[in-house]
């Protein structure tokens, strides 16, 4: 199959997909092509697609690809859709989530030590919103629950993977300057 | 405007001067209050005037108590910690034996590390906040099947449909007083009845659709008629959301 045709098909698949499109899924669509061929076609497609001054972007999120509108057009799109911005997470929830994201897998007691405050309500919210998940139990007395972030977390914050988060040292440096 | 102002507007507005009213969610915990006091008074974190900060902290606690805010245990624990540090600061360092190096540590040190650690994660939380802002400004799904009022709908599953019909039957059985021996009804008759109803209605709720049935037999025949009309694509069944009430709508003819 010609690369251009493959790219057109991949573009169409990313458009219709309800979820994030992963490379492995594309390999099932093109059984004759090698992994490298698909990867290369995909990479070039994303570059070319995002270079054009169109209204859509193909973004890498949670180890896959999806098509979105450009953030800079949100006002006009919202005015057309007549929607209001989604409810955001509270500061307490975001702080708890930050601790979980950087310290995972982490127990409630460890979160308490950092935040200096009980975080059970925030955890409940995060579990309900599927931002965090129970990933196991710590092999210590009481076997406390361990929490970690989910794929939904990556999607919600537009991250490809956890390595895309800035390092904690950067925030420590900022804290040093702020205080 | 830095992030702190953006995110904690309440604390910024209310903590200053004129009659302190505190919204507890602004000061999420004792560490947040301490950070706020340190920033407000431009205190050097490596040399916190602990007596002054303790006094301020206790004043806030008193105000919160006066406002009948139910203070969690961690607020009082922090008060105790501050008072303990203050008392240790008063003890001359020379009196400690030299071999116990940890005793020579600044008693404020642990608290300082805790504050820095907390500020670090507050910064991380702000980064998440910004990312969330951006993600809230993009749309990613192609339009689902859309109703005229713009709300998305989901198709009714067979199981959902049977469940809804089962509920209709149960409700009928709990309400009926007696069942009259009905004249024979046919699916054909009911189909023409339904068609007549949809001449005046565009949409009916599944629950009210069966309201006029007089017997269980009627209910079943009516249900079969409904299924037949769905098969003929004259009407369609949908929900605004999964597990919400099923709606029955006339299929609009293509213009």
Q: How far apart are CA A77 and CA A67, in angstroms?
A: 15
Q: How far apart are CA A85 and CA B227, in angstroms?
A: 40
Residue B141: which pLDDT band, with cuts at 50, 70 and 90? Answer: low
This complex has an ipTM of: 0.80
pLDDT at B7: 35
List, for residues A104-126, the tens digit of each pLDDT value.
Answer: 999 999 998 898 888 888 899 89
User: How close does chain A come to B228, measured CA to CA in Å?
Assistant: 31
pLDDT at A116: 85
Angle at B24 between CA B19 and CA B26, to 5 degrees: 90
Residue A95 has pLDDT above 60, yes or no: yes
Whether the CA torsion A5, A6, A9, A14 is positive or negative: it is negative
A74 touches chain B (CB under 8 A): yes
Choose among A77, A94, A117: nearest Cβ to B128. Answer: A94
Choose among B45, B74, B128: nearest Cβ to A179. Answer: B45
Mean pLDDT of B191-203: 87
- CATH architecture group of domain A91-178: Orthogonal Bundle (1.10)
Residue B10 has pLDDT above 60, yes or no: no
CB contact under 8 A, A117 and B72: yes
Query: B37-54 burial, b if ≥16 CB within 10 A, otherwise e?
Result: bbeeeebebeebebeebb
pLDDT at B155: 66
B140 touches chain A (CB under 8 A): yes
pLDDT at B8: 38
Q: Comparing C-alpha atoms, which of B255, B154, B239 is closest to residue B247?
A: B239
Question: For residues B121 and A88, which has the higher predicted lDDT (pLDDT)?
Answer: B121
List, for residues B88-111, the tens digit of each pLDDT value.
Answer: 988 876 555 555 555 567 889 999
pLDDT at B147: 42
Residue A163: which pLDDT band, with cuts at 50, 70 and 90? Answer: very high
Mean pLDDT of A45-73: 92
- Nearest residue of chain B to residue A96 (CA atoms): B125
Extents of the domains making up chain A = 3-80, 91-178
Residue B114 has pLDDT above 70, yes or no: yes
pLDDT at B254: 42
pLDDT at B152: 54
Q: Comparing C-alpha atoms, which of A15, A42, A48 is closest to residue A26?
A: A42
Sheet holding B154-155, edge to edge: B154-155, B235-239, B247-250, B203-205
Extents of the domains making up chain B = 3-91+103-135, 154-250
Q: Do domains A3-80 and A91-178 have the same CATH topology?
A: yes
* Residue of B28, B33, B152 for testing the chain A interface, max A β-carbons within 10 Å: B28
Per the document, the length of chain A is 179
pLDDT at A138: 93
Examine residue A167 and say whether the peptide bond preceding it is cis (omega within 30 degrees of 0). Answer: no
CB B140 within 8 A of CB A66: yes
User: How close does chain A come to B44, measured CA to CA in Å?
Assistant: 7
Q: How far apart are CA B70 and CA B72, in angstroms?
A: 6
CB contact under 8 A, B124 and A171: yes
Across chain B, where does the E strand assignment appear? 154-155, 203-205, 235-239, 247-250
List, for residues B209-246, the tens digit of each pLDDT value.
Answer: 888 777 888 888 888 898 888 888 888 888 877 667 88
Per the document, the length of chain B is 255
Query: B201-221 burial, b if ≥16 CB within 10 A, otherwise e?
Result: eeebebeebbeebeeeebbbb
What's the topology of domain A3-80? Arc Repressor Mutant, subunit A (1.10.10)
pLDDT at B154: 66
Mean pLDDT of B11-39: 62
Quickly list H helices, B41-72.
50-66
User: How close does chain A come to B93, measured CA to CA in Å?
Assistant: 26
CB B216 within 8 A of CB B185: no
Question: For residues A69 and B207, which has the higher predicted lDDT (pLDDT)?
Answer: A69
Q: How many CB pairs under 8 A join A and B?
A: 128
List, for residues A7-18, the tens digit of each pLDDT value.
Answer: 999 999 999 888
B117 touches chain A (CB under 8 A): yes
| High-pLDDT (> 70) share of chain A, % | 100
Q: Comparing C-alpha atoms, which of A57, A158, A94, A130 is closest to residue B135?
A: A158
Chain A residues close to B7, C-beta within 8 Å: 91
Those of residues 23-62 in A touching chain B at CB distance below 8 A are: 57
User: How close does chain A come to B138, measured CA to CA in Å?
Assistant: 5
Mean pLDDT of chain A: 91
pLDDT at B216: 80
CB A131 within 8 A of CB A153: yes
CB contact under 8 A, A91 and B125: yes
CATH tag, B154-250: 1.10.10.580
Residue B21 has pLDDT above 70, yes or no: no
């Amino acid at each position: 199959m010609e690369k251009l045709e493959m790219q057109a098909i991949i573009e169409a698949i990313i458009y219709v997909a309800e979820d994030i499109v992963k490379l492995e899924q594309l390999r099932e669509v093109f059984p004759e092509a090698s992994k490298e061929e698909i990867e290369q076609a995909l990479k070039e497609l994303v570059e070319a697609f995002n270079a054009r001054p169109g209204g859509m972007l193909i973004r890498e999120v949670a180890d896959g690809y999806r098509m979105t509108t450009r953030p800079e057009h949100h006002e006009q799109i919202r005015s057309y859709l007549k929607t209001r911005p989604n409810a955001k997470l509270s500061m307490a929830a975001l702080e708890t989530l930050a601790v979980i994201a950087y310290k995972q897998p982490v127990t409630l007691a460890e979160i308490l030590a950092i935040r200096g405050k009980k975080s059970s309500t925030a955890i409940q919210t995060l579990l309900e919103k599927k931002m965090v998940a129970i990933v196991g139990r710590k092999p210590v007395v009481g076997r406390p629950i361990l929490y970690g972030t989910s794929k939904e977390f990556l999607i919600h914050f537009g991250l490809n993977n956890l390595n895309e988060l800035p390092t904690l040292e950067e925030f420590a440096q900022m804290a040093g300057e702020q205080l | 405007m830095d992030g702190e102002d953006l995110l904690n507007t309440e604390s910024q507005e209310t903590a200053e001067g004129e009659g302190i009213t505190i919204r507890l969610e602004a000061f999420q915990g004792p560490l947040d209050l301490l950070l706020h006091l340190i920033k407000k008074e431009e205190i050097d974190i490596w040399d916190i005037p602990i007596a002054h900060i303790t006094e301020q902290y206790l004043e806030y606690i008193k105000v919160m108590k006066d406002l009948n805010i139910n203070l969690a245990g961690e607020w009082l624990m922090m008060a105790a910690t501050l008072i303990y540090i203050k008392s240790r600061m008063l003890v001359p360092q020379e009196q400690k034996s030299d071999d116990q190096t940890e005793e020579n540590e600044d008693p404020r040190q642990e608290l300082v590390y805790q504050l820095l650690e907390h500020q670090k994660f507050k910064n991380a939380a702000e980064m998440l906040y910004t990312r969330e802002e951006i993600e809230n400004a993009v749309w990613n799904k192609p339009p689902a099947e859309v109703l005229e009022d713009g709300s998305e709908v989901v198709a009714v599953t067979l199981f959902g449909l049977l469940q809804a019909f089962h509920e209709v039957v149960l409700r009928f059985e709990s309400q009926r007083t007696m069942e009259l021996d009905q004249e024979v009804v046919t699916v054909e008759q009911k189909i023409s009845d339904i068609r007549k109803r949809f001449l005046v209605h565009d949409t009916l709720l599944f629950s009210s659709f069966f309201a006029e049935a007089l017997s269980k037999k009627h209910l079943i025949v009516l249900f079969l008629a409904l299924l037949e009309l769905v098969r003929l694509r004259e009407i369609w069944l949908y929900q605004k959301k999964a597990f919400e009430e099923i709606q029955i709508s006339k299929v609009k003819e293509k213009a």
